A and B are shown apart, each in its own frame.
Chain A
């Protein structure tokens, strides 16, 4: 939020770096992190935590783009108006800005969630031995040509993708009527 409202040189730089990670292939990022974990943070190697960090780096730009769009829904002017009407800064945030950006935050969370669920390349590299995500499980069975077993995971992935989609759709429809 700070990046969008207060555009400084540092903020812009940080944001650009964030976008860069979107441009990198997942495999490159994953190998870089493996290298980093082995040499600099060995306890992290082969842990689920490292996988989460990877996802955070990979999907940060995705979250940023959709957050930026939703923050445009709540210009600072509305917050100022709220303050002139007697709201403390925290109350203005709670009563005006949050309700306006909440759908956007939910949407970006859902987008990132979906992308993380189906992410495969970086996951294959970084997943702790013996553990599986839906995508790696699907990949494993599919590699062995066990299409029947693989299809179970595929169905779960599709179902998970559909649920937030439906919820968001309903939310946006309601938002459309209001704004």
Chain B
């Protein structure tokens, strides 16, 4: 069962196409993240789905009902889409309880539904407060309770955590996700934060220049991105030149297998993705590739070490000396130290653009 289906969606403003053929399917009861940089068309896509903008071409289907195609449109208030806007957008003149009761028919507003929703998001004690008396995280949870109150077919979360500070963000996010899973709601999370998208969603769709570049499970997306640009967008990426002979790929760092299921390029020059955590630091002098540490960025839970591989002079063609980033969990080496590099696991590779 498909909770949300977007097919061939185009949207242009006079003179500027914003969405250029979006195809996206969200299974009922799952959470899909739409990940895109600012200006990629995220907001426009969201506004077309909610009905505040009209699609130029294509169709939007929510829970089996076509809500927008070239022939007819369902008004926003009849789409049964719950929206959780960026900063909550609670109604400032209403109490928390009245905010949650807002979407309900008049006879149900005094009933138990608003209290149940507040309990669901863990804010029963704040029913009589006004929005300005709540913290940012509490406001987001009230906005979620309000969106869920009328049992919508679909919840849209528009960068709901971006205004929260880092410490709060993780806890509010996990609370919100727990509520969505508990209620089995189909949800779409729009975000520009790749950590958030990868950790929260069942599926992640990459939106770039008005197109969905790739829609996959987070692990698949991280390991086998559709192209080098996507690779760099969803995490730190070491992109190396290599040679693919049909079975193994050879780079400065050795010979590697490539992921099964990946569309294998023609033998020849390829661009290879190696994630920082795939590179291990070893003692120099073994069969590891010698390298020199140029910088260390300490993050607490881990450290990102910049190294410049220095292959023996014999392999002059490969030794482009390009800086690589290596993630180490403890005992980061100091800049200037010599280390050895080995690669574990398979890599992703794409045919190099012609002429390079």
Contact = CB atoms under 8 A, between A and B. Distances in A.
A86 B77 contact: yes
Contacts of B79: 84
Contacts of B150: 85-86
Interface string B124-153: 000000101000000000000011001000
Given A85-B82, A86-B103, A95-B102, A78 B130 contact: no
A6 interface: no
Contacts, number: 57
A84 B91 contact: no
Contacts of B85: 77, 81
Interface in B76-126: 76-79, 81-83, 85, 89, 91-93, 102-103
A125 to B, nearest CB: 44
A96 B159 CA distance: 23
A99 B146 contact: no
B50 interface: yes
Nearest to A175: B93
A82 interface: yes
B298 interface: no
Given A85-B82, A85-B146, A178-B93, A80 B77 contact: no
Contacts of A73: 92
A81 B77 contact: no
A65 B130 CA distance: 28
Interface residues of B, number: 23
Given A77-B85, A95-B102, A84 B76 contact: yes
Contact of A84 (B77, B93, B130): B77
Interface string A90-122: 000001100110000000000000000000000
Interface centre among A81, A82, A85 (most CB of B within 10 A): A85
Contacts of A83: 52, 75-77
B117 to A, nearest CB: 13
A138 B58 CA distance: 71
A78 B81 contact: no
Interface centre among B76, B81, B102, B103 (most CB of A within 10 A): B76
30 contacts: A77-B85, A80-B50, A80-B52, A80-B76, A81-B83, A81-B89, A81-B91, A82-B91, A82-B102, A83-B75, A83-B77, A84-B50, A84-B51, A84-B76, A84-B77, A84-B81, A84-B83, A85-B146, A86-B77, A86-B78, A86-B103, A86-B150, A87-B77, A87-B103, A88-B77, A95-B102, A100-B91, A100-B92, A178-B132, A179-B130
